[in-house]
Structure 1
Amino acid sequence: MWIPNMQIFESSVLIFGALFGLLWAMHIFVSWTKVKTMAWILLIASIWLLSGAYFFSMTHLVYPYFYALHFPFVFLCGPLFLHYYRLVVREVDSKFFNFHLIPSCLALFVILPYLLMDLDSKIKFLEGFRTGKMSFYHVLIMSLNVGVKVSILSYLTPIIFLNLPLLKRSNEISRESKGIFIFIIILIYIDLLIGLIGFFIKSFFLVKLSALLLPLNLFIFFILSSRYPEIVIGLQKELKRNRYENSKIKNLDVNFILEKLEEIFKSERAFADEDISLPKVAEELKISPHQLSQILNEKLNQTFPQYVNSYRVNEAKKLMVEDSNRSILSIAFAVGFNSKASFNRSFKNISGFTPQEFRKSTQK
């Protein structure tokens, strides 16, 4: 009776962790937080935990349809961690490049033959793991477990070691918070390394232990991130300070440049020129395009297109109030947009309303 009871306990822990991760992800999705990357990471972690419960409870031998389906999703964890770090900690634009999807696509390619098997073939294939009668394809699918952990470690390790010196140097982060941050890192590494060692030495106990540590890590991470938000804030400030010390704007009169830029946009209505560009404005300010981009990013937390469109949208609002009979398309062209679609998109992003909704609200 002990073994079934242990299976129930292990599966319950993993299901609890999955539900906890799912609820946390849903909370982020419905919150006002702009960056939803962490929600996707938590959602994938929940899928991973559910797959563990599905496997350890032996349910996969009865209902084999979902076996290995989690691999393409879990291979996205590493790229999503990098994406989150760049957006939230470094506060820079981050694109999710296609090459980050290669491991996930390869995992899908590996599991595809299994997914295309009929029910009896699936059960027979899975029995091979239990009896030890494994083919090359069995080994290939098992290697995905190792690949997932190596992938996550390969993304996390550079991020961690690049930021540890900044963490130590920061005066914004308390000594206690620094210790907590290092504690979280150690927990994550222990979890991943235990899983790796378990697969290499064929220890089912270590594999299960690694899986059972994931819900614990999720819960600890939730508590600590809620109690110590200063860790991320401190790293942000230290990175900004570090960038400024090594930047090309250190010897510029940034306040004067920002005043001159505001004058160009307010007095000269530079935003109304649909051909306005970063190099053109930088030339007028007698600085390089890179310097102007850096000033906007670090001082105003905006890209050049965002800066231009903010002026255009504000001017469009003014024109809509002053002339309620003027068409929205005419106003869009007047403030510098070259299409109604780009105007509607920018207006919605900046004001939270569509142009039509804004006009109706001003006519009440």
Structure 2
Amino acid sequence: MEMPLSTLFLTNTLICALLASHLIIRPIKSEHTAVLGSCYSLVALLHVLGYVFLISGVWQVGALRAIAATLLGPLYYYYFQMVLSPHKVQIKRIALHCLPAVFVTLALFGRFTFLMNWVDPLLLLSFWGYLGLTINELVKSKAELKSTKTMPMVFQWLRLLVVTLAVNAFVELLIVWELSTGKLLAESVFAILFALMFLVTNMLTLYCALQRHPLWDWMLETQSNIRFDRNKTKQVSDATTALIKKFTEQLNELEWFKVESGFTIAMAASELGVSQRQLSEAINTETGQSYSQFMNKRRVDEAVKIIRQNPKKPLTAVIYDSGFRTKSSFNREFANLIGVTPSEFQKILTLDVEIQT
């Protein structure tokens, strides 16, 4: 079982490294995308250390992995706070969450051998403790998250991360139990099952990132396009309304939504003479949508207009004329907003025209 497990560790390392680079190495990033990128970087490190430990058996590598594992829970909890309650995040408090890592380091590399028996219980306590904290954050914010237009997607994403943390906590408990019976890590059934589940989850996440799925896409718009504060309510100001009016006018007059290479929020903000953050927050406050959601709705509106004017026009031409770049994104966004696929909508209009004539 050593070869499959080491292969799974290495594959997970590569995928997590890709996700981390996608979040961190980008011209526009937010605080919470940077933190999530750090989470994936840490997970990649955990898997590469697991891979090296399996093929070398060097105990120091396993010790480094244990130390890194104690930082995973705090980092994910920090990410939840950045998304849900950024005003509560305090660097001094974050430093306190590193104490378990200090304890494990002293136990494994210091001369405090009497602490060795506490390493595994502390690791499990860290996993389960931070799982409880993230669940608590999500439950407290559930009602507020679902009360706004864009937040349900955020809630789904955070819930997915909680499930991942829960699976990790359960499997770590089972692995510790299995190793206590005398089995090696390479012989652990639960280790290979966990690596497989993690691989599937990572591949799905990477797919969402590459496809710009709404579940992932909300994080990538601006420096703080979706920032939730359960103690504050945003008010739509006159300046915000004026900015959206100006943006909408130029969007329609200059047909930014039809730009073949894609008209980014950076380009729009530059044309309007405002920062990307200002424009994104104005769109989110006024419409409850992200920049990409707003642009896709405008493209769908244009597609509907084109099909109404000429129900028999080929959909390939409609896709291009309405500003979409791929057939899959056109079909997905059209069905989400209109309730039927473009071809079905076209058939309905064609039938209406034939009946009228």
Other structure's SS at 1:75 match: helix
The 2-side partners of 1:178 and 1:95 are apart by 23
Corresponding position of 2:52: 54
One-letter identity of the residue aligned with 2:200 = L
Per-residue deviation, 1:160: 2.4
- TM-score normalised to the size of structure 2? 0.51
Corresponding position of 2:231: 243
One-letter identity of the residue aligned with 2:231 = R
The 2-side partners of 1:223 and 1:15 are apart by 19
Corresponding position of 2:134: 156
Distance 1:39 1:224, change over 3 A: same
Aligned counterparts, 1:49-198, within 5 A: 49-55=47-53, 57=54, 59-60=56-57, 63-92=58-87, 94-97=89-92, 98-113=95-110, 139-172=117-150, 182-198=159-175
The 2-side partners of 1:221 and 1:113 are apart by 39
Per-residue deviation, 1:53: 2.3
Per-residue deviation, 1:238: 8.7
Corresponding position of 2:6: 11
Deviations along 1:314-333, one digit per CA (max 9) or x if unpaired, are: xxxxxxxxxxxxxxxxxxxx
Corresponding position of 1:342: none
Corresponding position of 2:254: none
The 2-side partners of 1:229 and 1:88 are apart by 13
- Maintained 8 Å contact 1:87/1:94: yes
The reply to whether residue 215 of structure 1 matches residue 199 of structure 2 is yes
Distance 1:243 1:65, change over 3 A: closer
Deviations along 1:78-124, one digit per CA (max 9) or x if unpaired, are: 2222332333444437332221221111111111148x9xxxxxxxx
- Maintained 8 Å contact 1:184/1:221: no
Corresponding position of 2:251: none
The 2-side partners of 1:54 and 1:111 are apart by 18
> RMSD of the alignment, in Å?
4.0
- Maintained 8 Å contact 2:138/2:159: no
Bigger Cα displacement from structure 2, 10-19 vs 91-100 = 91-100
- Maintained 8 Å contact 2:171/2:190: yes
- TM-score normalised to the size of structure 1? 0.50
Bigger Cα displacement from structure 2, 151-160 vs 222-231 = 222-231
One-letter identity of the residue aligned with 1:53 = Y
Other structure's SS at 1:243 match: coil
Size of the aligned set, in residue pairs, is 225
Other structure's SS at 2:91 match: coil
- Maintained 8 Å contact 1:15/1:53: yes
Distance 1:9 1:69, change over 3 A: same
The 1-side partners of 2:116 and 2:77 are apart by 31
Distance 1:216 1:197, change over 3 A: same
The 2-side partners of 1:167 and 1:231 are apart by 14
Other structure's SS at 1:171 match: coil
Gap runs ≥5 in structure 2: 182-187, 240-280, 283-357
The 1-side partners of 2:67 and 2:56 are apart by 21
- Maintained 8 Å contact 2:46/2:65: yes
- Maintained 8 Å contact 2:50/2:62: no
Corresponding position of 2:252: none
The reply to whether residue 44 of structure 1 matches residue 12 of structure 2 is no
Distance 1:16 1:29, change over 3 A: same
Other structure's SS at 1:22 match: helix
Q: Percent identity?
A: 13
Per-residue deviation, 1:15: 0.8
Corresponding position of 1:360: none
Q: Which one has the largest radius of gyration?
A: 1
Q: 1:22 aligns with which of 6, 9, 17?
A: 17
Distance 1:206 1:20, change over 3 A: same
Other structure's SS at 1:31 match: coil
One-letter identity of the residue aligned with 2:173 = L
**Higher RCO (C-alpha under 8 Å, 6+ residues apart):** 2
Distance 1:170 1:88, change over 3 A: same
Deviations along 1:263-285, one digit per CA (max 9) or x if unpaired, are: xxxxxxxxxxxxxxxxxxxxxxx
Per-residue deviation, 1:236: 7.4
